Amino acid sequence: MSTDNVVEVTDVTLAYRRTRHRVSSLKQTAIDTINRRMAYEEFFALNGLSFTVARGETLSVIGRNGAGKSTLLKVLARVLPPTSGRVIVRGSVAPMIELGAGFNPELTGAENIMLYGTLLGCDSKTMQGRIEAIADWAQLTEHLDIPIRAYSSGMVARLAFATATDTTPDLLLIDEVLSVGDEDFQTRSKIRTEQMMNSGCAVVLVTHDLSAVKSMATRAIYLDHGAMKASGDPQDVIDAYHADLK
């Protein structure tokens, strides 16, 4: 392959019809149909985005709440298919988005590592061999055989983080840099995240922490109502964002 781009996004739009009523129900739909007043509006979560992320680059996405930052991550994670435009992602993806989705409180730590790791895309044979190392890193080896409903929330977070960061992906998607657990673990998880980011993979980082953008990002884009308002050098993009906030 000639290109070094892990991510290629070309003119991507994500639009969906959403109802004006907060909840959609058969009852409401029936009433609206009879009244010939379909209460739909087209909502553009992402509007004509184009960018690339190369191996070793860290692209930071900034913008107000509801600007489409998390939606963009979900499109890159393959969860949401774009309405139009094209997304190409070459290689494996590690989505660090709300870690621990898929954990079951009734299953033991070891069983949850297996299930979560496989959900994230590892094959189950590889995962079987990784359980010990993951538990060791999360400092949960002694608690591996009890259901995680008996864990503290910090322990669950540690287990999720350790499992999600066990592989070296080609593309790392981060929704806010996580710091979980006690102070010691926060430091370790931060170091591990930075190691992953520096391992040569492509990174897309969504964050409100602008100092993190300055220190980590090689490039940034600024989203507003789903559209790209600025892109390029992180400092310039932050300036553009600040100018809009005033």
Partner 1 sequence: MQVYDSAIAQTPVISALKGVWEKRSLLKLLVARDLTVRYKRSVIGIWWSLLNPLFTTAVMFYVFNTVFKAKLPDGQSFLPYLLSGVLTMTLFNQGLTMAADSIASGAGVLTKVYVRPEIFAFSATISSAINFLFGLIPLTVVLMIFGKHPGFKTPLLAVFMVCMCLFSTGLGLMLAIAYVNFDDSRSLIGILLLALQYMTPVFYPISALGPHTQKVIQFNPLTSFVAVFRDVFGGNAHATGGEWITMIITSLFFFVLGFYVFGRKWPKVVAKL
The Cα 122–Cα 128 span in angstroms is: 10
Taking the least distance from each CB to partner 1, the nearer of 102 and 154 is 102
Q: Among 37, 50, 66, 78, which residue sits at the site for partner 1 (rule: CB under 8 A)?
A: 78
Task: Report in angstroms how near the CB of residue 1 gets to partner 1 at its nearest.
Answer: 8
Task: Report in angstroms how near the CB of residue 163 gets to partner 1 at its nearest.
Answer: 12
Q: Does 121 bind partner 1 (CB under 8 A)?
A: yes
The Cα 93–Cα 107 span in angstroms is: 26
Total binding residues for partner 1 by CB under 8 A? 47
Nearest to 220 by CA among 163, 68, 95, 228: 228
Piece in contact with partner 1 (CB under 8 A), picked from 15-23, 135-143, 152-160, 176-184 = 15-23
The Cα 167–Cα 110 span in angstroms is: 17
Q: Does 118 bind partner 1 (CB under 8 A)?
A: yes
- Provide the sign of the torsion angle of the four alpha carbons 73, 81, 4, 95, taken in this order: positive
Sheet holding 171-175, edge to edge: 93-96, 171-175, 202-206, 58-63, 219-224, 227-232
Interface residues toward partner 1, by CB under 8 A: 14, 16-18, 23-27, 29, 45, 74, 77-82, 85-93, 95, 97-98, 101-102, 104, 106-107, 111, 114-115, 118-121, 123-125, 147, 170
